Amino acid sequence: MGKERPDIMMFLIPTTLGESIMFNYNESVSNELINPYMKTPGFAVLIFLLHPRGTGTVRLRNTDPFDSPILDTNHLTNKQDEDDLLAGIRMFEELISTEVMKSLGADLSINEASFCSHHQFRSDDFWRCMIRHIAHNFYHSTSTCKMGIKGDPTAVVDLDLRVQGIKNLRVCDASVFPSVTSANTNAPVMAIAEKFADMLKKERKTFT
């Protein structure tokens, strides 16, 4: 209540999570929370933190351009991020307690993991423990190559998507977002691509 934009998204999928390799959980977590239910009819809910406050880094590993960079996501380094995920879990608990969900046989008890059993099941401490064990980054990563005005020391590209300080190099993807957008990124990425296409067309007309 009182927030200017949503900070949590619930994503219900009409299947259990299936292959644990998708989430890269260690064997003990997979054996307890995923593998036993791979062929069980049901649904799963993913609770997304839309605007994480923790700031990660992308650094060069060395001078070899073909070596992978060093990525540090810094997930959950800001306590408010954990608090927001906990609030999302509490919202889902309210949903799962409705008569419609009960009629479907929806049950949270399969989340009673042994690795968090030193906390009372469904207590704040229990869910925080679960967040620390199973929260992960998803596939809508953005904002590693910020777009900004000329003179902004934090900007990598300018408003025409040119990499500042390097000639004839531009970036046109989700990395140029100045901040993480709410929900899925496909629409704003298409907007960036359309903007870039229009700029290129105008520049071509200028040279012809």
Q: Residues with catalytic annotation?
A: 140
Give CA–CA dist 26/28, Å, rounded.
6
Give CA–CA dist 151/158, Å, rounded.
9
Q: Which amino acid is at 202?
A: K
Give CA–CA dist 136/195, Å, rounded.
32
Helix residue ranges, H only, the chain: 27-33, 79-96, 99-103, 124-134, 186-207
Q: How far apart are the first and last CA of the chain?
A: 55
